[in-house]
């Protein structure tokens, strides 16, 4: 887990997501959903770089790298 200094700092990423969602909602009529988007490749390292790299086993795996590998290989179903 990443440590934050206060509640406001913890809420910053959520506010960014909320603002982006509002922008998309405002432009919803301009978005063409009939075209399928090209699937993007996400590497193990792409996933791993977003993880805390603490190997705390909170996710149920031995290391963050194993979790990243399984996640990028679509091993998990959500």
pLDDT attached to residue 40: 76
pLDDT attached to residue 37: 75
Closest CA to 71 of 59, 58, 56, 54: 59
The CATH class given to the 41-78 domain equals mainly alpha
Q: Where are the domains of the chain?
A: 41-78
The total of other beta-carbon atoms located within 10 Å of residue 27's CB is 9
**pLDDT tens sequence for the chain (78 residues):** 567 788 888 888 899 999 999 999 999 999 888 877 777 778 899 999 999 989 888 888 999 999 999 988 877 765
pLDDT attached to residue 10: 84
């Amino acid at each position: 887990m990443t440590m934050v200094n206060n509640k406001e700092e913890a809420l910053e990423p959520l506010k960014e997501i909320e603002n982006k969602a509002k922008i998309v909602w405002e432009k919803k009529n301009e978005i063409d959903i009939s075209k399928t988007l090209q699937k993007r490749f996400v590497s193990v390292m792409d996933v791993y770089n977003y993880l805390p790299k603490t190997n705390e086993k909170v996710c149920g795996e031995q290391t963050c790298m194993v979790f990243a590998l399984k996640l990028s290989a679509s091993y998990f179903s959500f």
